[in-house]
Amino acid sequence: MLVATPEVGRRRFIVSGLASAGALLLPHSVHAQQNVVPTPRQTAGPFYPVRFPEDVDNDLVVVRGAQARASGVVTHVMGRVLGTDGKPVPNATVEIWQCDAHGRYLHPADTGKRPRDTAFQGYGRMTARADGSYSFRTIRPVAYPGRTPHIHFAVRTPGGRQLVTQMYVAGEPLNTGDSLYASIRDPRQREAVTVALAPANGIEPGALAGTFDILLPT
Nearer to Fe ion, 129 or 190 (CB): 190
In the shown chain, the binding pattern of residues 112 to 131 toward Fe ion, with x for contact by CB under 5 A and - for none, equals --------------------
Give the nearer residue to Fe ion in terms of CB position, either 22 or 168: 168
What is the smallest separation between the CB atom of 44 and Fe ion, expressed in angstroms?
9
- Shortest distance (Å) from residue 147 CB to Fe ion: 6
CA distance 105 to 167: 16
Contacts for 29 with CB less than 8 Å, ≥ 6 apart = none
* φ, ψ for residue 162, nearest 5 deg: -135, 145
Nearer to Fe ion, 45 or 53 (CB): 45
Q: Tell me if 45 contacts Fe ion by CB under 5 A.
A: yes
Give the shortest CB-25-to-Fe ion separation in angstroms: 26
Indicate the DSSP class of residue 177.
Answer: G
CB 100 within 8 A of CB 151: no
Binding residues for Fe ion, how many (CB under 5 A)?
1
Three-class secondary structure of residue 98 per DSSP: coil
CB of 191 to Fe ion, least distance (A): 20
Stretch that binds Fe ion, among 45-53, 66-74, 154-162, 174-182 (CB under 5 A): 45-53
| C-beta closer to Fe ion: residue 45 or 90 | 45
Residue nearest to Fe ion (CB): 45
Nearest to 123 by CA among 150, 165, 153: 153
Q: Which is nearer to Fe ion, 49 or 86 (CB)?
A: 49
Determine the residue type at 86.
Answer: G
Q: At closest approach, how far in Å is the CB of 43 from Fe ion?
A: 9
Site for Fe ion in 2-41 (CB under 5 A): none
* CA gap 82, 90 in Å, rounded: 8
DSSP 191: H
Burial of 180: CB neighbours in 10 Å, binned 0-12, 13-18, 19+: middle
| Residues binding Fe ion (CB under 5 A) | 45
